[in-house]
Amino acid sequence: MSLVELIAQADERGLAASGLACLDRCVPLLGGDDEVLRPLWANLAAGGEPTAWGELLEQVRGKLGVAEIVDDEDVEDEAALLARRMLAAAPAVRSAAEARIWADACSVASLQIHRLLDPAEDDASSAGALPEALSSARAEGAGPVEGRTAGMSPLVAAELRRQISVLEILAGHGAGGLRRALEVSTEGRRVLRAVVSRRARGRG
């Protein structure tokens, strides 16, 4: 199934995990360490208390210093701004309806972040809107065999595949798939952290 279809059919846990995984991969832009989102991941596990989600979320926002810093004038770096908005928009209540909106928004934002950070896109025109090719890939799927990632930069294509993988894992295994979903996200976070580090050295 396509990414859009997977989000449409996912349950509450799968949706929350999808949004959280996108945010997790973008943590390097927020200045957070690799463990900062672990309490939220643990909350999604079997036995996790849904009513504790909101409090845990506020604790994470506090650690990352993200409150209302979501306006263009507050952050010069567009990729960091998008990451902050992802965290700011996280629903305080774990419900399927709110998680679906968040998961979809996080999917778009994370793809945009990866496009902004991909060195292959440095000479591209305005990055203000998600390209039509990306929107089409989300709707049609990203199977490399079908060539649906053709034309995308490597960083974006890899992120699209990770988003699909996380949703497929959760759809097939429920709470039992959280560990594998986290592993997929961790791999993506390491890649993005390396990209962010190279960009910082280049600016220095």
Question: Do residues 35 and 49 make contact, with C-beta atoms less than 8 angstroms apart?
Answer: no
Angstrom distance (rounded) from CA 114 to CA 121:
10
> 55 pLDDT exceeds 90?
yes
> 10 pLDDT exceeds 60?
yes
* Alpha carbon separation from 97 to 11, 29, 137, 147, 175 (Å, rounded): 10, 27, 24, 32, 19
Q: Which residue has the tokens 């390209």?
A: 131
The pLDDT, as a whole number, for residue 22 is: 98
The pLDDT, as a whole number, for residue 32 is: 86
The pLDDT, as a whole number, for residue 146 is: 40
Q: How do residues 119-158 score in pLDDT, each as one tens digit?
A: 765 444 434 445 555 566 566 654 443 445 556 888 999 9
| Domain edges within the chain | 3-203
* Alpha carbon separation from 44 to 18, 71, 81, 113, 181 (Å, rounded): 11, 30, 26, 25, 12
Average pLDDT over residues 43-70: 87
The pLDDT, as a whole number, for residue 65 is: 81
> 50 pLDDT exceeds 60?
yes
> 73 pLDDT exceeds 70?
no
Question: Do residues 150 and 137 make contact, with C-beta atoms less than 8 angstroms apart?
Answer: no
- Mean pLDDT over the full length of the chain: 84
The pLDDT, as a whole number, for residue 69 is: 55
- Provide the 10 A C-beta neighbour count for residue 129: 9
Angstrom distance (rounded) from CA 62 to CA 59:
5
Bigger pLDDT: 85 or 140? Answer: 85
